[in-house]
Amino acid sequence: MFEGEHQVNMDEKGRISIPAAYRDVLRNLYTHETIVITRDFDGCLRVYPQDEWYRHVQKFHTQPQNSPEIRAYERVVISAAVTTQPDKQGRILINHTLRKHAGLIKHVTFAGGSGRFQIWDVERRDVKLMEDVIALQQARLDF
Amino acid sequence: MFEGEHQVNMDEKGRISIPAAYRDVLRNLYTHETIVITRDFDGCLRVYPQDEWYRHVQKFHTQPQNSPEIRAYERVVISAAVTTQPDKQGRILINHTLRKHAGLIKHVTFAGGSGRFQIWDVERRDVKLMEDVIALQQARLDF
DNA sequence: GGTGAATCCCCACAATTACCCACAACGAAA
DNA sequence: TTTCGTTGTGGGTAATTGTGGGGATTCACC
């Protein structure tokens, strides 16, 4: 369970420190820090512990493989996925493709989730959140 | 497993550097760098390690050979296939037929997959991805 | 056979990346 | 407060990777 939102700065070389809290989860819950980074739909990055990624891909393959959505999912999410490990300082290097997709420049937000987390450009995230709040105010969720 | 998307530039002579990550896979997982390049449906190229290609062709031949789709597949994919090897710098030369089919000029994207990868014109790929992302945002994939 | 284009086989070099080490800021413990 | 470990950040260096180009060789075509 990756908890909370954390802001960090990407340096000139494109390296981002993974929040210590997340690294603890990786070490303790998943026994190693190998992760898989890929694109997400909302213009951010999605990060899985390697085991979770395998599970995810397996699930993906149980779907009927010839629908347009599934093919799109393969192009957007599956094919961009990169396996990597934090360096000795606990940072990961984000490659050009992913950096560009998520619009990462310097200020970055990690957003928790269960079994995975996201990496956002701070500003982009703020805009999205604003939209979300408005949408929720107008929605009539019943729980 | 060929991971991630990588952008490279094709030079005047039509040579493209295979991303180092992919070359590692070829060397380590397939023991040699011989590959087969052919056409793909989406206006890009499809590349197999030689072993995978053999497997693919074999599978093709188990199909009933007289349907129009199979004959089309043979014309588009099978007959265009070219076996080649990277040069000492890790580049491959793309012949005219294939280059034209994929609309390759200079900026090129490698897109990973399992057991094979694709080569796209960057712009063509970006357009496709944009469409895909929009489709995915509206879809309700459940996995 | 001659000619031009495409291809192959080298060498060279700039940009990027991997792998280090260092350190300021911060919080917890003494 | 002082000490100490953790965390996020910066930067140097060496190796790797991507790119450009020269020249020999092959090939297709007249």
Residue B66 pLDDT > 90, yes or no? no
Which one of A116-120, B40-44, B67-71 scores highest in mean pLDDT?
Answer: A116-120
| pLDDT beyond 90 at B32 | no
Residue B9: pLDDT over 90 = yes
| D10: residue with closest CA to C1' | A11
The architecture CATH gives domain B2-138: 3-Layer(aba) Sandwich (3.40)
Q: Parse chain B into domains and list their residue ranges.
A: 2-138
In this structure, the number of other CB atoms found within 10 A of the CB of residue A143 comes to 2
- pLDDT band with cut points at 50, 70 and 90 for residue A66: confident
Q: Which residues contact A125 (CB under 8 A, 6 or more apart)?
A: A44, A109, A111
Strand D reaches within 7 A of the B6 CB: yes
**Chain B contact present for A41, CB below 8 A:** yes
d(CA B105, CA A4): 45
Mean pLDDT of A122-142: 93
Instruction: Give the separation between CA B37 and CA B92, rounded to whole angstroms.
Output: 10
pLDDT of residue A83: 96
Residue A142: the pLDDT is 86
Q: Are the C-beta atoms of B82 and B38 separated by less than 8 Å? A: yes
Q: Report the percentage of chain B scoring pLDDT > 70.
A: 100
Secondary structure class of A139 (helix, strand, coil): coil
Residue showing tokens 């998520």: A102
B129 and A75 within 8 Å at the Cβ level: the answer is yes
Q: How confident is the model at residue A31 (pLDDT cuts 50, 70, 90)?
A: confident
Residue nearest to nucleotide D8 (CA to C1'): A17
Asked if B4 and A81 count as a contact pair (C-beta separation under 8 A), the reply is yes
The yes-or-no verdict on residue A40 having pLDDT over 90 is yes
Q: Which residues of A69-89 are buried (b: 16+ CB within 10 A; e: fewer)?
A: ebebbbbbbbbbbbbbebeee
